[in-house]
Amino acid sequence: MPPESPRRRAPRSRRSRQRVPAYVEDPVVAPLATPAATGANQVRAVEAETTVAPDPATAGPADRSAPAPTPIAERPGARATVLDVAPRRRHYRGLAALWGLVVAGGLACLVAAIVPVGPVWLDRVGAITVVTAYTWALAARSGGRPVVFGLLALVLGVTVQVVDEPYLRTGAAVMTCVVAAVLAVMATVPAVRFAQAARECVLAVLIAAGGALATIGFDPVLSVVRFEYVTLGLALASAFILVHRLGAGLHGLGRRGLIGVVAGGLVLGGLLLYAELLRRYGPSDMVGSLLDAVRWSRDTLGAFPRPIVAVLGVPTLVWGVHMRARRRQGWWLCAFGAAATTAVANSLVNPEITLLECGLSVLYGTVVGLVVGYAVVRVDLALTGSRGAGGRRAEESAAVRPEPARTAPLF
């Protein structure tokens, strides 16, 4: 038996230059290329290509009884097509507009009660309206059941006002503060540039400020320090629970996310430890000089920015929304933004601070935090991104990580 001849590569002129596409939009319209058939397969392929659909007027009974193929978009269980996106967006925008009107009405009642103008029960009605709307929005944003949780918040708010017990009013104030702080963080969207990140921070502060008005609308009876610690702990815990899913768990942290979480935890622990030592052991020489600076700022500028807002909350929120446009680890940094939104939401519970001083303190803390956040973002881009104006523009054009719209569920 003669040995088999070695297999040789075909000459370049006889090689096929046909390329199979990597992705076909519709297999019916654009079928994948198949190898050429031979023999009986080739005859059947020619017959299939030359087959003409029967005319309904001349078709037999068997041909007329054959059902027509169902389009893919009309089959049960088929996914939503691109044509369904526009009505869904209009639905979300309509709900967002209605939600904005409800919140505006509740805030108007709260402002009228502060002035004061109108009946004495306006603050209670405004507080119930705002906390119901905020709970509905947070449930919708986090992929929950907004109708169920919104009705639950409404029933609880009405029950608190009917029973009128101090501990119930204080609990409702805590719930309102936490919901407002977490919603302010969850309502943000990714930001490609720093200007967009600053816009998201301002929006978060405004949402938390509405929660601050609703918090005092319940007229809580509390210890200021205990209230601040409880609301901060609950808001951070709730934010991290949601971010654990949005950031793909702890294994999705990555090196940059781990550095941000560790740094944020150290700053938060240092601020809380400093405040506790100052409260327990009284002022020393260094603390006395810091208190002198605080007094000068209050006498000259009208307020002093809260350190937890200016040093931790706003900078991490700026860095987080900026990173979310590039990678999902930015959600872990945004969780620390709840420290700033909580401080804004519970800022009015201190009776020793006037409304004007509270507003100026939030304004100064936001401005200082934006400056610190800009510096952090620039350092991050200098260490990990391209240098120069051209490299920066290329990096911004490549930041296309998708996320749902502001009015759409995140899950």
DSSP secondary structure string for all residues of 328-388? TTHHHHHHHHHHHHHHHHTGGG-TTS-HHHHHHHHHHHHHHHHHHHHHHHHHHHHHHS--H
Residue 258, pLDDT score: 76
d(CA 183, CA 149): 14
41 alpha carbon, distance to own chain's centre: 57
Closest CA to 333 of 325, 323, 341, 342: 323
Residue 68, pLDDT score: 52
Q: How many CB atoms lie within 10 A of CB 410?
A: 14
* One pLDDT digit (tens) per residue for the chain, 411 residues: 455 555 555 555 555 454 444 333 334 444 444 444 444 444 444 444 444 444 444 444 444 444 555 444 444 444 444 445 556 666 677 788 888 999 999 999 999 998 888 888 888 999 999 999 999 999 999 888 999 999 999 999 999 989 989 899 999 999 999 999 999 999 999 988 899 999 999 999 999 999 999 999 998 888 888 999 999 999 999 999 998 888 666 666 677 667 777 777 788 777 777 666 666 655 556 566 667 777 888 888 888 888 889 888 999 999 999 888 888 888 888 999 999 999 999 999 988 888 899 999 999 999 999 999 999 888 888 877 666 666 666 666 666 777 888 888 887
Encoded tokens for 33: 């290329």
Domain residue ranges in the chain: 182-398
pTM: 0.74
Contact between residue 181 and residue 341 where contact means Cβ atoms under 8 Å apart: yes
Residue carrying the six token digits 């409880």: 230
Residue carrying the six token digits 């007229």: 219
Angle (deg, nearest 10), helices 330-345 and 314-324: 150
d(CA 32, CA 310): 58
d(CA 400, CA 398): 6
Residue 71 CB-density burial (10 A; 0-12 exposed, 13-18 middle, 19+ buried): exposed
The conformation of residue 347, written as its DSSP 8-state character, comes to G
Is the Cα dihedral 267, 273, 278, 281 positive or negative?
Answer: negative
d(CA 312, CA 37): 68
Closest CA to 124 of 233, 188, 215: 215
d(CA 341, CA 187): 12
